[in-house]
Amino acid sequence: MTTYLNALGVVCSLGAGKHTVAEAMFGAATHGLHDLEGWVPGQTQTVGHVTAPLPAMSAELSHRDTRNNRLLMLAAREIEAELRDAISRFGAGRVGIVIGTSTTGIEEATRSIATRGRTGSWPADYRYADQELGAPAAFLAEWLGIAGPAYGISTACTSGARALLSAQRLLKSDLCDAVICGGADSLCRLATNGFHALEATADARCEPFSRRRDGINIGEAAALFLMTREAAPVVFLGGGASSDAHHMSSPHPEGRGASDAMARALSSAGLDAGMIDYVNLHGTATEHNDAMESRAVDATFGRPVPCSSTKALTGHTLGAAGALEAAFCWLALTDPERRLPPHVWDGEADPSLPPLAFTDHDSRLPPGRRYLMSNSFAFGGNNASLILAHTA
């Protein structure tokens, strides 16, 4: 059974909406990284902050009012007509929701905990449910009136990618006729301080795969797809997942789990490695991640496949990253000029790593049917690779 990505709504630090995000990404004349002060004591953090105005919650949804849900609503509103049409045609009980996240409403919870520490009482608007990992899916289900399966996935930085794989299973199992799937994460003090404590954050804009790379920039985003069995230009061929459990926070140095996820994705899609036209790399700009991914990509493809990391443009959006970078592949597949996301960095390759064929502003996909892979790797050795194709 073939599944399709019929619609896309997206917001990230590059902007809100497919057109705005695509032009900013393909042109790479700017980026979405900004300085943030005051969240990490004594430090200025470079982050991918969404500056687009976020929608206000209605009175009926005021109990769902978190920044994470506002990001999600902004992405959903871009494709609200398609979503409501699917609900109307298939029925509320045949439409599902799967959302990947890692931060959900924890920033609001953090502020409430601080208030309780000062005053001894919880704020009147504090709701524990806001920080639950299923909260984004529950919010969308309530807003749209959906009665089908609705749940969250939180596998750290593969959450958004795993949400798409889970959505495809719902369709293949005939539990749903349409699934709203993707990821959403918002900036929060817990994540910024946590990654700083791990010495994993960069002092300035990150430099994926550079010999000078020194860490990530954290970002925020929401990316939502409508996945169905109805034919559309972009096919979701599937993907592969693995869990090597090498270390709590470090990947296997040779990228065994990453290689396994890519191999499973190719097998799931019925493709060989020579058919992939582009790989969106996880590319966090940390020393160990980029090293293992370089080795895994080299071992998997054995040829200079065009590839890039987009995290120097958006920051690492954590639980939303897998969905956001699948969205970038969707945008490349539907772009009339067949443009590819450029690899933005200092051009200083690490001589200790296998060389990769990084894209630039002039890189283009070939005409005809095209196959793109998107990689996501996470803490605990949790790995996922997705494959999208154009039906032309």
Contact present, 215 and 316 (Cβ < 8 Å)? no
Tokens at residue 138, please?
């529950």
Q: Is 377 helix (H, G, I), strand (E, B) or coil?
A: strand
**Which pair of tokens denotes residue 231?**
């034919």
- The Cα 320–Cα 42 span in angstroms is 28
Pairing between strand 150-153 and 95-100? parallel
d(CA 28, CA 195): 26
Beta bridge partners of 151: 98
The separation between CA 196 and the C-alpha centre of its own chain, rounded to angstroms, equals 21
- DSSP SS3 for 132: coil
246 contacts 345 by C-beta, under 8 angstroms: no
3-state secondary structure of 379: helix
Q: Are 255 and 84 in contact (CB under 8 A)?
A: no
The distance of Cα 53 from the centroid of its chain, to the nearest Å, equals: 20
Q: What is the DSSP letter of 305?
A: -
Whether 261 contacts 242, CB under 8 Å: yes
Catalytic (active-site) positions: 157, 282, 316
Residue 224 bridge partners (DSSP): 9, 182
